[in-house]
Amino acid sequence: MAANQQEVHVEDLQIGDGDGDDLVTPWDVQGSSAKGVDYDKLIKRFGSQKVDDVIVKRIEQVTGKPAHHFLRRGIFFSHRDMHLILNMYEKKQPFYLYTGRGPSSDSMHMGHLIPFLFTKWLQETFDVPLVIQLTDDEKFLWKDLTLEEANRLAYENAKDIIAVGFDVNKTFIFSDMDYIGSCPEFYKNMCRVEKLVTFNQVKGIFGFGDSDCIGKISFPAIQAAPSFSSSFPHIFNRKTNIPCLIPCAIDQDPYFRMTRDVAPRMGCHKPALLHSTFFPALQGAQSKMSASDPNSSIFLTDTNKQIKDKINKYAFSGGGTTVDEHREKGGNCDIDVSYQYLTFFLEDDEKLEKIRMDYSSGELLTGFLKKELIGILQDLVSKHRDRRAQVTDDVVKQFMTPRKLKYDY
């Protein structure tokens, strides 16, 4: 860790808005301005490190491949111990990837896709094992879902995740409800974490109240357990010393701050992290995407017509209220949702920069900006739907069966 960057420890992490007006928790994200969350302030508050040009160039140097545009554009903007992971890779020492999904609806939306698109690039670039946790138990505890429905949604979401293109020989996807009971080592790590975190600490980190069920209070240990290689004896041959890298949205960081605090006391490596920014709702960065509001985002089940209608009707515009005003003052890319979406899904840097300049100058109108985005999203979602249709129950079973992967340990 850089000398001027001091990690915030579990005792110091309190839920709330810190020294600003932004609220960032695992369950709620609220930006105080039309631009959304102040990520520089969040880095300072959480005690992480910025993904700067130095680390982007180092990733390119050690892998011999161009950095993903999510890295180049600051979409994955913050990290913990990424330099240590790169050091290990240079020395040909093993590590693995861990990410997850909380299954609360039949269909995932574009925001849910971001960490998986990036994780796929990481897996292909570094050629390492990947474990994907489906927290159906969490959604049962937090949402109005039965155990059976939460578990069913986990398997439906697994189909969307598999459709991203992960390699079955390198990837293990698991449902908490199904895996924990069959793996004593995973449960033992949960117990170790639970013993090392006090009730006062978990209240301070996650804001639990006296009326919250005890399942919520113990759940953070379940999300921590995949950070330890011993939780997957079938993959890592019972080795306990293989570290992991976790790509996730920054709102999940409190779980892993807690994990990093207890890991040394468990004799384990601290997990490293790469944090992403938040994917804005169609209505703007101050709004929140919701699976219960189909108009808040583009879903992976949306038809081409639905995508076109949603972007045209709901995508918040940073343009002028009239054509004349827009020509005179230009558009504001910092708050324009269509432009923000293009930063995620338009891979051509030169084309994106030209759009930014033309829109900012007023030369490019909002309608043309939206048309560009609609075409890209229609193509992306259509291809995803086709791949998902090929994911059978047998394919899901292959990914979700505990087994040895292609790596030897």
Neighbours of 298 (CB within 10 A): 28
Distance CA 344, CA 316 (A): 16
CATH number of 304-389: 1.10.240.10
- pLDDT digit string (tens) for the chain, length 409 residues: 444 445 544 444 444 444 456 767 666 666 666 667 788 888 998 899 999 999 999 999 999 999 999 999 999 999 999 999 999 999 999 999 999 999 988 889 999 999 999 999 999 999 999 999 999 999 999 999 999 999 999 999 999 999 999 999 999 999 999 999 999 999 999 999 999 999 999 999 999 999 999 999 999 999 999 999 999 999 999 999 999 999 999 999 999 999 999 999 999 999 999 999 989 889 886 655 666 677 889 999 999 999 999 999 999 999 888 898 988 888 999 999 999 999 999 999 999 999 999 999 999 999 999 999 999 999 999 999 999 999 999 999 999 999 999 999 9
Domain ranges within the chain, ordered by starting residue: 10-283, 304-389
38 contacts 29 by C-beta, under 8 angstroms: no
Token digits of residue 248:
């996730």
Residue with tokens 């930014």: 356
Query: What's the whole-model pTM score?
Result: 0.92
134 contacts 171 by C-beta, under 8 angstroms: no
| Homologous superfamily, domain 10-283 | HUPs (3.40.50.620)
